[in-house]
Structures are given as C-alpha cells and as structure tokens.
Chains A and B, each alone.
Chain A
Amino acid sequence: EAQVTQNPRYLITVTGKKLTVTCSQNMNHEYMSWYRQDPGLGLRQIYYSMNVEVTDKGDVPEGYKVSRKEKRNFPLILESPSPNQTSLYFCASSRPANSPYEQYFGPGTRLTVT
C-alpha cells in the first residue's frame, strides 16, 4: 500500500530536550516536505526536499533541522524544542516538485512541548 508514515504520532516533551520525528514514504517520490498546522494559521511549510541531499527552507524553518540521506526518509529534528513548537506536524511526499503531482500526507504527529 502506498503510504507516508510518521513516528511518533503523539509526543509530549519538555523544553530543550532534542527530538526527532521520522517520516518515510514507499512510493519512490523525489519531493518531500514538512508542514505544521496551527489553529487560525492553517498549514505552513517548514522545510522541503527536492531529492536526496537537496533540502531548503520553507516559510517557518526557525528551530527545525532536516536531512535527506535516503530517498524514502525525511526526518524532522528539533534540537532544542520550545513551547511555541507545540503543533500538529505533517510530512508529505509527491513526484517532482516542478510538476503538479498529487501530494500524499502522513497521518500527522501531535507534539506538545511543556
């Protein structure tokens, strides 16, 4: 089954404790992206990757890091989480970003930073 998986689905952590949210897709997609969703603000892009070893900042990259060492995986790293990073996070993938291909979303990760 074609899918995007994220782990963990729910996470409660404390300020400053480094964490990683994993994202994996099994569709051999070149393009992967991370979004956060906040009430009243909608979905906003954090980082995206056009292909392996190619990543770039989205609209709200501060406080986040990513890496793309393999085509299928695109982890989101919070080196020192803060309460303003409490949010619902989505990973998504698609065929090349320069063509209008359908986006596939992961199930979401609900993160709470206290």
Chain B
Amino acid sequence: KNEVEQSPQNLTAQEGEFITINCSYSVGISALHWLQQHPGGGIVSLFMLSSGKKKHGRLIATINIQEKHSSLHITASHPRDSAVYICAVRSLIQGAQKLVFGQGTRLTINP
C-alpha cells in the first residue's frame, strides 16, 4: 500500500463544475504539498499546508491532521485547470525529511 493515496486517479468534468481531489496518507507529516503538472511537464507548487485551510483564487486546500486527509477543491472549473494534480507529504523517513508523492490525479475539464 502506498504511503500517499490520491483519488480519483482520473476525473473528467464540465466547465463550471466544482472539483474535489482527495489525498490520504499513512505517515506522520510536517507538511503537505499540492502540486500542479500541466501537459508540458512543468511542476508548480500550489499549496503547502500543515493545518487548516488555504485559498488562492478558485483553489482551496484543506487538511485534517487527525484523519490524515487533505482535499483540493477547484470552484468554477475551467479548461485551463486541466492538469495532473499531485499530493506530496513531507515526512521524516530514516532520519531525513523527504517528500513522498501520490500517484497524481489527471483532471480534464471540457468546455
């Protein structure tokens, strides 16, 4: 079982829909990152959070430390939101702080 699990793996929606991507993890963490990877391949950091909730434009990220779960929400989705969204947790593994990545969620927003 992977230490970081994302769901769904693939998501197709219509423009304007409210999107939720989930991330569950099984290790102790100091922070959780949400990353965005566009078809061109580059990776951009969207959020880093260790508690509560953060909002940036139409994107909202929440984390529940007790339940070891985080969600990324996109309101009023747009075709330009089409990308792979990756959850990564920062965890102490074998004495070193490391990033452990989920498999990613491929989001497609149709016009």
Contacts and interface: CB of A to CB of B under 8 A. Distances in A.
Interface string B16-57: 000000000000001101010000011111001010000000
Interface residues of B, number: 22
B98 A45 contact: yes
Contacts of A88: 41
Given A42-B103, A56-B96, A58-B98, A100 B45 contact: no
A103 B41 contact: no
A102 B96 contact: no
B40 to A, nearest CB: 8
A108 B42 contact: yes
A90 B37 CA distance: 12
Contact of B104 (A42, A45, A104): A42
A74 interface: no
Contacts of A42: 86, 101-104
B41 A100 contact: no
A110 B42 CA distance: 11
B97 interface: yes
Nearest to B93: A59
**From B33, B86, B98, residue with most partner A Cβ within 10 Å:** B98
Interface in B54-100: 86, 88, 90, 96-99
Interface of B: 30-31, 33, 35, 41-45, 48, 50, 86, 88, 90, 96-99, 101-104
13 contacts: A42-B86, A42-B102, A45-B99, A48-B96, A56-B96, A58-B98, A90-B43, A100-B30, A102-B45, A103-B35, A105-B44, A107-B41, A108-B42
